[in-house]
Chains A and B, each alone.
Chain A
Amino acid sequence: MIELKDVYKRFGQQIVLDGVNFTVKDGETLALLGPSGTGKSLLLKHIVGLIRQDSGIVRVDGKDVALLRRKELKELRSTIGYVFQNGALFDSMNVFENIRLGITDEDKFRDEAYAKERIEKCLTMVNLALDVALKYPAQLSGGMRKRVGISRAIAGAPKYLLYDEPTSGLDPVNSDIIDELVKSLSAELGVTSVMVTHDVRGAFKVADRLALLTGGKIVQQGTPDEFMKSTVPQVREFLERDFGNLTFAA
């Protein structure tokens, strides 16, 4: 379970997170919506311990992330797969080597046969041909880079998956492919997922629950149905921007 309680973060005079609260239950997919620059990606970085909150608690698997020692944090991170917005693939390594780095168990990482088998499996799961393994990130399209990023995130068989705008910058067809992929991975692997996005349609397709972050706070969270029926002005404004006619979307 992922739990954020009164998380507060400021940079200089700017308050980015102003008491954020939400919980993601085991096996659930939560889509974190919100306009650009509201700190959605920052929240993911708190969950994986890349950034520490000024106050409040971030708990993953019952552990307070900010209080973990180096080794404990490394162990926790081995249970979390993080899909970065632009893939964050290592330019100097080919796809095979990139995905291999995602195998967080050191013994399995060094086992050539296991690594090869695991990488082939991961590539197949994200619908990529096996010959992609020998290509370098610069030779891949945007959609392929995102899928390789997902492959790397799932290579270590994580318990949690964090997606940072997995469909940003993609055309509608590729966005749909990624959305379907996120949905199928959640079902197949049974992982707990948090997906940061401002693609409302995609979020409604993929998520069990949604949360809207704006002004540093979560102003609404609930199931897609609850979201549609919400009377919170920020939620109405956000949904209408994407769906236009809400009765049609519902």
Chain B
Amino acid sequence: MISAVHTLWARAWRGRPPQGWLLLVSLATAILMAAPVLYVGVRALAEDAERWTVLLDERIPALLWNTVSLAAVVGLSAGVLGLSLAWLVARTDLPWRQTLRWLVAIPLAVPPYVGAMTYVVVFGPRGWVSDIVGSTPIDMYSFAGAAFVLSIFTYPYVFLVAGSAVGRMGRAHEDVARSLGLGRFAVLRRVTLPLLRPATGAGIVLVVLYVLSDFGAVALLRYSTLTSAIYYQMGGFDTGAAAILSVVLIALTLVVLGVEASTRRRARFYESSGAAQSPRRIELGRLRWPAFIYVATVFLFAGLMPLMVLGYWTAQGLLIDGLDPRFLQFALNTLQAAGLAAAVAMFLAVPVVYLRSRHASVPAAVIERLAHAGYALPGVIVALGVIFFSLRLAPVVYGTALMLSIAYVIRFLPQAMQSASASLELVSPRIDEAARVAGLRPLGVIVKVISRLIAPGVLAGGALVFVSSAKELPATLLLRPAGFDTLAIRVWVEASDGAYHLAAPPALVMVLLSLLPLKWMLDRFREA
């Protein structure tokens, strides 16, 4: 009997069952990550059927339409922007393409709510343009305004992912097509673009997931989506409704992930490895300068202008009021909450990733998936989950700065996992075996050998978690304890009040902070 259980256990793990402690740590991590989200679902299902019908009839259709249409338009325009830029800088003889490759990635470092703020400053009613010209070309407080701002601050996702695919393309497919008599643009349309479709699609999925989760930008631009409705529902007297709307949003997110998974299965292309030659550089000819103007314009609107607005208002702020004396405390609070999240994420990522890699099996995959639960979900839902969860089960934690770090870990642990996992894949399992043969216990293998080898990847992942946490807005707004404002909070509070000279300094600090890991991300996507 016992031996039968043993056999089943071993079979589930494909003959390599993990050490008890490894399984325990990983499982605990996975449960911690998934629990708050499940709790939101439970809370929503506990609401009366009547509440559901009222919301389903009155609010959800409009919110769903607002959200889906925005996500679709932003996904499409960010896709076009990102793919065209990636192709232009990587494959053509665009002037100054090496520099431009950097410049057009900069918007990734600008949190969209900061970007939205700069657009209100310039194009809002009573903004700079309206002061000078008397009217504005675009109503920022509209669907168009929200779609525009989100597109220009999210296209770098597509740019990076599609860019890495462009970089990996060999010349074989295109050469064959040319030799069969296709013209240059026919090759582009019928060979190159289809080859890039999976990567572009993956980038667009990231954009769409972002749009679903965005709170700050749409709220500043006064556009309603499911996410902002959930936040404001929390501001009303009604967590039940917030939980119900959250379930709708979770369902929408799952649909997006499902579509992505199924398209990825259908569309796979392979480069024959080995003798792949890097592709020919395409001469743009007469289009060379128009193409340059296009790329430069994108940079102007998505990178230069926001940075100039932040620089201008930071200078104004320092001249008018000097630096807010509490600024240092805000920065320290950010450092504390995001730093703790990064440290914890680095510790937790290693066991889960190790389990997934060295004990590859269905249970290991399930654990890894669970640990991703918070990643695709908006910060508002994670915050809602952490609030419900901690109030009922861990009241000691409730209302402390620790809540913020917990929410950040739930939200961003997968960034540390992906980074650690990429490093671990490069370490042969034979090294583990060698270490065992040399007399190390399994724990010693991880601590003394593996951790050392994958340290750069883990640290890089920690840096990503740190930056993402420092920028995080909605969960921070909902979870911060009294007297614990972070830089992101200050940007939000001052920008909502129109005090741009006070909002700009912390915003600029966050943007500069986010530029640091950008170099690393660009390199990683080039190698990937």
**Are both chains from one complex?**
no
Q: Which residues of B contact A (CB under 8 A)?
A: none
